[in-house]
Structure 1
Amino acid sequence: MLTFLLAIILLVVGYIFYSKFVEKVFGINDKNETPAYTKNDNMDYVPMSWWKGSLIQLLNIAGLGPIFGAVTGALYGPVAFIWIVIGCIFAGAVHDYFSGMLSLRHKGAQFPTLVGRYLGKTMQSAINIVSIVLMILVAAAFTAGPAQLIAELTPLTFLTAIIIIFAYFLLAAVLPVNRIIGKVYPVFGGILIFMAVSIAIALLFSEHQIPNLTVSNLHPQDLPIWPLLMVTISCGAISGFHSTQSPIIARTLKKESDGRKVFYGAMIAEGIIAMIWAAAAMTFFGNTGGLQEAFAAGGPAGIVNEISTSLLGTLGGILAILGVIILPITTGDTALRSSRMMLTELFSSLFKNLSGKWKVVLATIPVTIPCFLLSTIDYTFLWRYVGFTNQTVATIMLWTATMYLLTNNKLHWITGIPALFMTGMVSTYVFYAPEGLNMDYYVSLVIGAVITVFVCIWYIRKIVSNRKNRSQDSYTSAA
């Protein structure tokens, strides 16, 4: 229990102190007029208060990610606590802050546009495809689970439930951000927080003993911690999906100083939620072996339902149903909204002559159709590919932020070191994982290390080149 409480305290302290340091490095200026005012269109660019933006951002980036991912990561034991704390404070929250603030500084630009500006057009072309694929996978994966539960609880069929969900998706994606998202999502964000806090309090005062710190791998199948834990628990530590969601809220901020509370703060809140659910999962079933049996019996949704109803009674059952149905749906629709924004930027010449409403509708349809088709296949199959694609996008975003800081002569290490860490993790994962090349673990480690070394050399050369350019500029100015 001591480790769990200490981890929560560290996350809060990380927000209080490290977020201010990151904000200082970025360099905010509240005199700068934000895109919410300079590009106000009453659709995507609409000023909103920071507290409302924070709750919407939390709901957009979280959904069931920090719940399902955390209970799955709990199979590794308390080592998951370490990853959530370190990953969230030094990687995930920094990633989210820069993805939001860079969008803010570049007129509400989407993630691929930012990549193109700082990593080049070739990388932008690749990340456009990867990002849109990620959005489609997330929306599909976050549709299948709720549809299945709706089919079990009501007379509706699975297909009918999917159709209803997608009808809502289309409605939420094409309406102005302050209609449904701005009015209803803060309430759902509050439910997400209330659900986690209730579980934490009930867990602390129950007879269950939360395990303390150990770096031992307690996974029943003895799966390696590196790199699998870092992909299993992405939401709650670091998630590339967030870089696609942050521009939605960046287009609504009233001033730059709101960014720390909205982007860094929402990620810390997600980390706390993930910590609570990881602790509940590794505690409630006695050990990781018992948790594995619970997975086999009912999957993550069954685990969440059993923990909630056992610790909170009827209220827990209601919260579990709300969580498993509502939370993933609210993430799925903003995934489609983000992909619509990306397509609009990518094919701006095709959409420039269309009126606002027609442009929004026509940009939404191409991503909705494949998402609908994918949502009818196995959820667990989809989720495996979401994990890898997600962390690849996170790695690219960190390198984008690093090049921004380097170009502007700022302290680039705060993103460069996490970017190198993520490069090694993703490189190893793609060679080792079943959905990757499924190679021998130790061979994958070596290949991942070699790739990371080459990327590190590229990074060092960029640093040296930047210093030379600064020296030349100084010499020219002096002359």
Structure 2
Amino acid sequence: MITFMVGVALLIVGYFTYGKFVERVFGVKDARPTPAYVNQDGVDYVPMNTRKNSLIQLLNIAGTGPVFGPILGALYGPVAFIWIVVGCIFAGAVHDYLTGMISIRNKGAHLPALASKFLGGAMKHVVNAFAILLLLLVGTVFVSTPASLIHLLIDGRVAIGFILAAIFIYYIFATLMPVDKIIGRFYPYFGAILLLSSAGVGAMLLFTGAPIPELTLSNLHPDNAPVLPLLFFTITCGALSGFHATQTPIISRTTKAEPQGRKIFYGMMIAEGIIAMIWAAAAMSLFNGPVGLNEILAAGGPGAVVTEVSTLLLGSVAGTLAVIGVIVLPITSGDTAFRSARMIIAEYFSIAQKKVSSRLWIALPLFAISVVFTQIDFNLLWRYFSWANQATAVIALFVGAMYLYIARKNYFIALIPGAFMLVMVITYILNAQIGFGLSWPVAWTGGIIGATVLVVMFFRQGNKQRERNLPLEVDVSDYEEKAS
């Protein structure tokens, strides 16, 4: 239990210390107008207050990642706590903060546009296709997982196909409606439910004296479990997730002032890390170790663990509310995944989104493709999602590092975690059966060499951008009076 409590404490301290340091490195400008005012359109660019933006951001980035991922990561034992804490403070929260703030400085631009500007024009097309694929995978995963949880909650009394259809119908409305009509109005309440249910599970773990295992030298590397790099692809949300880079522009377009960014972007990633710690601890302590956890996972997947943990710790009524809180997570991330995909495509083709018809003809094909994706085996879908997720995180971290490199600021805060994860991303896909299936020695060699080459290319591109005197932000001086 000491490992767990120290980990949560470190996350909180990290927000007030390293988060403040990252904010100073970036250099916020209180008086600079934000896209919420400069580009206000009543659909995607709408000023909203910090409380709303923070809770919506938490729901947007969370999904089932900080619940399902840590439950699966619990199979590795307490070493999972290290990745959640270190990854969240030094990688995930930095990733979220920089992508959010750089987007604010560039009219609320999405990752493909930012990659094109800072990493080179060719990257726009690559990252655009990659981001759309990731968002379709996310949207599909976040249709399937809440549907399965609802199916379990009501003991299979309603056909899962009907539940899937209902979720898709909701997603269509949420994707097309102005951001303040559904997302801005209801999601803060859903965010509160999520926080309360997670806090309830965490409090009962402490109150009941659950045997949360401690980190020791003997369990630092569990038997028959190759921690590196597999742990980084098991626990993504809650530590580091490229999906977040696709979500932050939704809120970068509704943020009123730059100083709010640390609470909205860095702070909500820390909150997600705490949620991940709670669910990892619950999965480690309530099922008699990895063997018992494996049995329940084999029987009903992570959804069965969520149901069992919630009812065991909170009772039938409060436990059901906690499960509902977890169901809300993927639903409120799935709809924003499709919304982000719509916005990215509209941005790529320069299609104004004021008219509903313009939003509709972009969104409907996305939903049609996602329906097809639901027919793919979920475990295979999740593996591809996990790799694509971390590959996108690497791209976003390199965008942040390039921005700071051109500005002659401390770019190491993004480059070090970006380069580390680049090695992991290349190594994983070279070894994995969904990739090239090479042996671990060959995969590690390829990962290190590949990452080294790409880091060298990063510096070459950065020097070119410095020579070009690339503007880091969009000039909004003409809009200062409007913003005020």
Q: Which TM-score band applies after superposition, normalised by the shorter structure?
A: over 0.9
Between the aligned partners of 1:149 and 1:420, the Cα distance in structure 2 is: 37
Residue of structure 1 equivalent to 2:450: 451
Between the aligned partners of 2:151 and 2:11, the Cα distance in structure 1 is: 38
1:255 partner letter: A
Pairing 1:60–2:60 present? yes
Query: Structure 1's 215 and 440: CA in aligned 2 closer, same or farther, altered over 3 A?
Result: farther
Residue of structure 1 equivalent to 2:301: 299
Where 2:205 maps in the other structure, the secondary structure is helix
Query: Structure 1's 357 and 465: CA in aligned 2 closer, same or farther, altered over 3 A?
Result: closer
1:219 offset after TM fit, Å?
A: 8.2
1:188 offset after TM fit, Å?
A: 1.0
Larger deviation: 309-318 or 423-432? 309-318
Where 2:258 maps in the other structure, the secondary structure is coil
Between the aligned partners of 2:465 and 2:41, the Cα distance in structure 1 is: 38
Mapped contact 1:99–1:243 kept (Cα < 8 A): yes
Between the aligned partners of 1:463 and 1:147, the Cα distance in structure 2 is: 45
1:216 offset after TM fit, Å?
A: 5.0
Larger deviation: 451-460 or 211-220? 211-220
Residue of structure 1 equivalent to 2:86: 86
2:191 partner letter: G
Between the aligned partners of 1:213 and 1:6, the Cα distance in structure 2 is: 11
Query: Structure 1's 210 and 151: CA in aligned 2 closer, same or farther, altered over 3 A?
Result: closer
Where 2:233 maps in the other structure, the secondary structure is helix
1:446 partner letter: T
Cα displacement string for residues 75-123 of structure 1 (whole angstroms, at most 9, x for unaligned residues): 1011111111110001000000011111100011111101100011211
Between the aligned partners of 2:25 and 2:224, the Cα distance in structure 1 is: 41
Between the aligned partners of 1:428 and 1:215, the Cα distance in structure 2 is: 25
1:238 partner letter: L
Pairing 1:406–2:405 present? yes
Mapped contact 1:220–1:289 kept (Cα < 8 A): no
Between the aligned partners of 2:172 and 2:466, the Cα distance in structure 1 is: 49
1:119 partner letter: L
| Count of matched residue pairs | 467
Mapped contact 2:55–2:188 kept (Cα < 8 A): yes
1:220 offset after TM fit, Å?
A: 7.6
Mapped contact 2:35–2:107 kept (Cα < 8 A): yes
Gaps of 5+ in 1: 471-479
Pairing 1:192–2:194 present? yes
Between the aligned partners of 2:339 and 2:209, the Cα distance in structure 1 is: 44
Between the aligned partners of 1:216 and 1:249, the Cα distance in structure 2 is: 43
1:151 offset after TM fit, Å?
A: 4.2
Alignment RMSD: 1.9
Residue of structure 2 equivalent to 1:100: 100
Residue of structure 2 equivalent to 1:44: 44
Map 1:134-149 to 2 at 5 A. 134-149=134-149
Between the aligned partners of 1:388 and 1:63, the Cα distance in structure 2 is: 16
Between the aligned partners of 1:355 and 1:85, the Cα distance in structure 2 is: 41
Map 1:2-13 to 2 at 5 A. 2-13=2-13
Between the aligned partners of 1:279 and 1:414, the Cα distance in structure 2 is: 29
Query: Structure 1's 343 and 283: CA in aligned 2 closer, same or farther, altered over 3 A?
Result: same
Mapped contact 1:57–1:249 kept (Cα < 8 A): yes
Larger deviation: 27-36 or 149-158? 149-158
1:462 offset after TM fit, Å?
A: 5.1
Match of 1:246 among 245, 248, 269: 248
Where 2:404 maps in the other structure, the secondary structure is helix
Pairing 1:423–2:422 present? yes
Residue of structure 1 equivalent to 2:169: 167
Between the aligned partners of 1:467 and 1:145, the Cα distance in structure 2 is: 45
1:331 partner letter: S
1:249 offset after TM fit, Å?
A: 0.4
Residue of structure 1 equivalent to 2:364: 365
Where 2:17 maps in the other structure, the secondary structure is helix
Between the aligned partners of 1:445 and 1:196, the Cα distance in structure 2 is: 37
Residue of structure 1 equivalent to 2:476: none
Map 1:328-343 to 2 at 5 A. 328-343=330-345
Mapped contact 2:96–2:269 kept (Cα < 8 A): yes
Where 1:40 maps in the other structure, the secondary structure is coil
Between the aligned partners of 1:76 and 1:457, the Cα distance in structure 2 is: 34
1:372 partner letter: V
Between the aligned partners of 1:379 and 1:342, the Cα distance in structure 2 is: 26
1:183 offset after TM fit, Å?
A: 1.1
Where 1:10 maps in the other structure, the secondary structure is helix
Where 1:257 maps in the other structure, the secondary structure is helix
Between the aligned partners of 1:461 and 1:107, the Cα distance in structure 2 is: 27
Match of 2:327 among 325, 328, 338: 325
Aligned-pair identity (%)? 49
TM-score by length of 1: 0.93
Between the aligned partners of 1:337 and 1:110, the Cα distance in structure 2 is: 12
Larger deviation: 257-266 or 136-145? 136-145
1:403 offset after TM fit, Å?
A: 0.7
Between the aligned partners of 2:187 and 2:215, the Cα distance in structure 1 is: 36
Mapped contact 1:172–1:181 kept (Cα < 8 A): yes
Cα displacement string for residues 141-163 of structure 1 (whole angstroms, at most 9, x for unaligned residues): 11112223444526432222211
Where 1:213 maps in the other structure, the secondary structure is coil
Mapped contact 2:313–2:319 kept (Cα < 8 A): no
Between the aligned partners of 1:233 and 1:448, the Cα distance in structure 2 is: 20
**Aligned structure 1 segments of 4 or more residues deviating by more than 4 angstroms:** 215-221, 460-470
Map 1:201-212 to 2 at 5 A. 201-212=203-214
Where 2:419 maps in the other structure, the secondary structure is helix
Where 2:224 maps in the other structure, the secondary structure is coil
2:281 partner letter: A
Cα displacement string for residues 422-466 of structure 1 (whole angstroms, at most 9, x for unaligned residues): 111101111112221122122211111111222233345456667
Where 2:46 maps in the other structure, the secondary structure is coil
1:208 offset after TM fit, Å?
A: 2.2
1:175 partner letter: M
